[in-house]
Chain A
Amino acid sequence: SKPSQVVQPQPPTVPPEPVASPNCLPPPESTVDLEGTFSWSVSYLEDSNFKAVPVSCFRHAPMSECWEQMSAGMKVEVACGEEGVTKDAFWVATVVAIAGYKAKLRFEGFVEDSSKDIWVDLCSEEVHPVGWCATQGRPLIPPRTIQHKYRDWKEFLMRRLTGARTLPTNFMSRVVESQKSRFRPGLNVEVVDKNRIAQMRVATVTEVVGKRLHLRYHGAPPDDNGFWCHEDAPIIHPVGWSREVGHEIVASQSYHEKCISGTYDPNDAPPELFAITPIPSNFHSSKMNFSEGMKLEAIDPLNLSAICVATVMKVLHNNYLMIRIDSYESDNTCSDWFCYHATSPCIFPAGFCEMNNITLTPPRGYEGQFSWFLYLKKTQATAAPPALFYREVPSHGFEEGMALESADLMDPRLVCVAKVKQVKGRLLKVHFDGWESDFDQWIDYHSPDIYPVGWCDMSGYRLEGPKSQAPKR
């Protein structure tokens, strides 16, 4: 279905997919295979150039709203591991560094000695607020290496802990709460057809992992492995959405009748479960609007490393637009149109790429230096007025070189080790470690498909490691 042959990063082994049942019942087992999942190693985390995007930069990420309070100097209680005098001994440790959801801890009493420092997942059950052990009736026991240093550890701890910071007692319940999805298996949604992006299909949620939904298309052949997307993704909508906005949808006759009558059943996901499309304050005051034939620049939905010259092919209700990339081969079937909302951060006014020093993919057959002026003249088209675009650029905190975990949107089942390669306003170019730059993806900073370091571990989602030998395209 791709106009260009885009080879996508693949995991070394692909787990067998469960066979889709005709009535789209949830599969009996998880489709996420954690065997061989990548772990951020100490060599990664302690590299002098390593810097993770802070959790607070990802508004959709669990604990994002309070993560700024997690900082070096904070005290926690943690199992001593190999340093334990007994198998399950706990001791107090200080957070010395934070990278995403991961924290480097130094046991109290080691002072400047970093030899026994450990990296932990701060949101995991192995880390507790100071005071937790007492509530469990467990005494704190110093690690074996430093046990000889003090005769009275009580006095030492009193001195070290008084006035220090720790986690709140309900930290773990907050973590659990912030990971809960609004969706559940069995709910029906409308989602972009991965095999024909111009149309929607009805699908059922079969699995939810870390707020990422596994969907099975209704009527899909048994060997179809479904589709993954985040619950806040702009490509999923409530039952009845396509009919409401005038988008093409492939569904059974009974489904269409249900949408006409508005008699939904309890398994049809209601609108309140879906992310609200942000409408900028000046959006309704503008007298102008997008109209058919207008030219613009857009992220290619089939090759996210490219920003291309594009055309508004159709204006739907509720400010949704059908966009076509002008470099696609013409087949007159409308199968490569893609729906973007007028406020989408993935569409840009003509001249955006030039202004931001980004290579613009010209229209098909265009030779030589691309000129918007000449192209508009040649096609007798108009450029969509810049005032129609949503270009708010907040101070988002993403910086070039920062590490993160990112879904590969060409195969959104995969979440991979990645880096921020470029920052252009609110637009990020994400690079997958070890892969050639052809695989890079332009992603809005607010996208729910990018996550902090440690998100996969925390969510029980498989993380694809860096590829050591990237294949040539």
Chain B
Amino acid sequence: SIASVGQKWEQKQVQIKTLEGEFSVTMWSSGVDE
């Protein structure tokens, strides 16, 4: 679960492109960005 991942994770919108079209999803990204 996300709760067990800890505080170093942040939510972000990720753009995905497929042959059927583009869309965005909400994913968790590790805080390596920091």
Residue numbers of A with Cβ under 8 A of B are 66, 69-70, 75, 129-131, 133-135, 137-141, 152-154, 157-158, 161-171, 174
| B26 with A162: CB separation less than 8 A | yes
B contact face: mostly helix, strand, loop, or mixed:
strand
Contact check: which of B6, B16, B19, B21 meets A130 at CB < 8 Å?
Answer: B16
| B14 with A165: CB separation less than 8 A | no
* Complex: chain B residue closest to A141, CB-CB: B19
B7-34 at interface with A (beta carbon < 8 Å): 8-9, 14-23, 25-33
* Complex: chain B residue closest to A155, CB-CB: B20
**24 A-B pairs (CB sep. < 8 Å):** A66-B30, A66-B31, A69-B6, A69-B32, A75-B27, A130-B27, A131-B15, A134-B15, A135-B15, A140-B17, A153-B19, A153-B20, A154-B16, A154-B18, A157-B16, A158-B23, A163-B27, A163-B28, A166-B27, A166-B28, A166-B29, A167-B32, A169-B29, A169-B33
Knowing that A69-B30, A133-B16 touch, tell me 14 more A-B residue pairs with CB under 8 angstroms.
A69-B32, A70-B30, A75-B27, A139-B18, A140-B16, A140-B17, A154-B20, A157-B25, A163-B2, A165-B28, A168-B32, A168-B33, A169-B29, A170-B33
Instruction: Note all chain B residues with C-beta closer than 8 A to A164.
Output: 27-28
A162-B30 in contact given A69-B8, A131-B15, A140-B16 (Cβ < 8 Å): no
Minimal beta-carbon separation of B10 from chain A (angstroms)? 9
A168-B31 in contact given A134-B22, A163-B2, A163-B26 (Cβ < 8 Å): yes
Looking at B22, B25, B31, which has the most chain A CB atoms within 10 Å of its CB?
Answer: B25
A168-B18 in contact given A158-B23, A161-B25, A163-B2 (Cβ < 8 Å): no
User: When chains A and B are docked, how far (Å) is the Cα of A139 from the Cα of B32?
Assistant: 26
A168-B29 in contact given A69-B9, A163-B2 (Cβ < 8 Å): yes
A165-B18 in contact given A75-B27, A129-B29, A158-B23 (Cβ < 8 Å): no
Minimal beta-carbon separation of A178 from chain B (angstroms)? 10
* Complex: chain A residue closest to B2, CB-CB: A163
Q: Which 10 pairs of residues, A with B, have the shortest CB-CB distance?
A: A131-B14, A69-B30, A134-B17, A154-B20, A134-B15, A168-B32, A165-B28, A168-B33, A161-B25, A162-B25
Minimal beta-carbon separation of A72 from chain B (angstroms)? 12
User: When chains A and B are docked, how far (Å) is the Cα of A212 from the Cα of B12?
Assistant: 37
Q: How many interface residues does B have (CB within 8 Å)?
A: 24
Contact check: which of B6, B14, B21 meets A166 at CB < 8 Å?
Answer: B14
Contact check: which of A75, A129, A133, A158 meets B17 at CB < 8 Å?
Answer: A133
A165-B9 in contact given A66-B32, A137-B17, A140-B16 (Cβ < 8 Å): yes
| A161 with B33: CB separation less than 8 A | no
Contact check: which of A135, A152, A171 meets B20 at CB < 8 Å?
Answer: A152
User: When chains A and B are docked, how far (Å) is the Cα of A11 from the Cα of B20?
Assistant: 53
Minimal beta-carbon separation of A417 from chain B (angstroms)? 29
* Complex: chain A residue closest to B13, CB-CB: A131
User: When chains A and B are docked, how far (Å) is the Cα of A242 from the Cα of B30?
Assistant: 45
Contact check: which of B5, B15, B27, B32 meets A171 at CB < 8 Å?
Answer: B32
Instruction: Note all chain A residues with C-beta closer than 8 A to B16.
Output: 130-131, 133-134, 140, 154, 157-158, 161
User: When chains A and B are docked, how far (Å) is the Cα of A133 from the Cα of B6?
Assistant: 27
Minimal beta-carbon separation of A364 from chain B (angstroms)? 53
| A130 with B14: CB separation less than 8 A | yes
Contact check: which of A140, A166, A174 meets B18 at CB < 8 Å?
Answer: A140
A174-B32 in contact given A69-B8, A131-B15, A134-B17 (Cβ < 8 Å): yes
Instruction: Note all chain A residues with C-beta closer than 8 A to B17.
Output: 133-134, 137-140
Instruction: Note all chain A residues with C-beta closer than 8 A to B18.
Output: 139-141, 153-154, 157
User: When chains A and B are docked, how far (Å) is the Cα of A153 from the Cα of B30?
Assistant: 26
Minimal beta-carbon separation of A108 from chain B (angstroms)? 11
